Amino acid sequence: MTRNSGKPDKVLWSELLPWEFKRRLADCPLVYLPLGICEPHGQIAAFGLDTIKAEWLCENAAREAGGIVAPAMGYHVHESGYHARWLEDTVGECNPHMTGMPPHVFLHFFLYQLRAFANAGFKGIVVVSGHSGGNQFDLRRVAERFSIYASIPVFVASDPELVTGRYEGDHAGKYEISQLLYVRPDLVDFAKSDLHRFADAGGPLAIGDDAHQADPLLGRDIMEACLRKLIQEAESLKGRIGNDAATIPITYEEIEALWQELWQVRQDWITARPRDGQLPVSTRSQWKSYERLEV
C-alpha cells in the first residue's frame, strides 16, 4: 500500500481553501513543484510516469516536512539537443505522443513559476523533476539566478539524484517501472509488451532492456529512499529561510531582466545541444531539426 492511500492531510495548493492555505503557509512557508512529462515508457507503462512519481514525492514530503504542493507541471524539455539522437534511437519515426517543450519556452515559464511562488509568500522552493538525464542542470541554472535575486533558497533535483550512489536511474527500465509498480500498479501492464511487434502500435517506444526485471518491492525501496532524502533537503531548506515575513512582489519587468541574462548564455544550456561525442541525428529523421537550438 502506498503512502498516499486513505484520506491524508490536504497539501495541494489547488485543493486548499484560503484559510487552510494561510495556515499551512504560516506553519511552513515551503512550496513543492513536481515536474514531469508525458512521454513513451514502452508499451507497458503510462505516459505520465515521470509526473506521477514527482507528485508522489512532493505530496508525501509536504505531509511529513510541512509546506504546500503547487500544481504539477506535466510538460518538460524534450526533443532538443541531446534528446534528439536518443529519440531517434529509442522511438524512431513513430509518433511519441509527447508533451515536449523547447528549452527557451519551458525555462522562461519556469522562471515565472518561481516568481509566482515568491509573490504568494513562500520563503523556500523545492523542485522535483521526474524527467531527468540533463534537464535538471538547466533548471538549476535558472533557479540559482532567481534565488540570488529574490533571496529565496531553491532546491532542484531529479529523483535519481536523490538516491545517487544507491540506485541508478534509467528510462522505462527496472528502476522506473519498479517505481510505477509501487506508486500506481494499475498503470503498468506487462501483457501489452508484445505490441511492439506491430508497426501501428509504435514499436518498442523507448522501453528499457531490463524493464521486465521491475518489482514493486524494489519500487518501494527506491521511492522511500527518494522520499527520505527529499524530506532531509526540505528540512535543510527550512533552516535557511530568513526571518523577514514581508512579501515584496516581483514584477514582470524584473523577471524579464533576469531572463535576458539567462538568454545571453543559452549556448551553455545542456538541453540546447548534443552531448560531446554524440552521434548526429540522421538527416531524414523527424528529430533532425531539433538537434541544436536555433532561435
Domain coordinates of the chain in residue numbers? 13-277
d(CA 294, CA 66): 42
Average pLDDT over residues 43-52: 97
Going by C-alpha positions, the residue among 226, 231, 233 that lies closest to residue 178 is 226
Average pLDDT over residues 284-291: 95
Buried b (16+ CB within 10 A) or exposed e, 19-56: eebeebbeebbbbbbbbbbbbbbbbbbbbbbbbbbbbb
Average pLDDT over residues 138-143: 98
pLDDT at 247: 82
Q: Considering all CA atoms of the chain, what is the largest pairwise distance in Å, rounded to the nearest integer?
A: 60
Query: Is the confidence at residue 243, as pLDDT, over 90?
Result: no
pLDDT at 1: 41
First and final CA of the chain: distance in angstroms? 47
Confidence at 142, pLDDT banded by 50, 70, 90: very high
Torsion angles phi and psi, residue 198, rounded to 5 = -105, 120
Going by C-alpha positions, the residue among 119, 124, 123, 158 that lies closest to residue 138 is 158
Q: What's the order of all strands across the beta sheet hosting 124-129?
A: 68-69, 30-35, 124-129, 154-158
* Summary mean pLDDT of the chain: 94
pLDDT at 235: 97
Helix (H/G/I), strand (E/B), else coil: 164? coil
Return the higher-pLDDT residue of 3 and 269: 269
Confidence at 295, pLDDT banded by 50, 70, 90: low
**E strand map for the chain:** 30-35, 68-69, 76-77, 100-101, 124-129, 154-158
Query: Is the confidence at residue 6, as pLDDT, over 60?
Result: no
What are 184's three cell numbers?
500506481
CATH superfamily of 13-277: Creatininase (3.40.50.10310)
Confidence at 286, pLDDT banded by 50, 70, 90: very high
Torsion angles phi and psi, residue 47, rounded to 5 = -60, -35
How long, in residues, is the chain?
Answer: 295
Confidence at 150, pLDDT banded by 50, 70, 90: very high
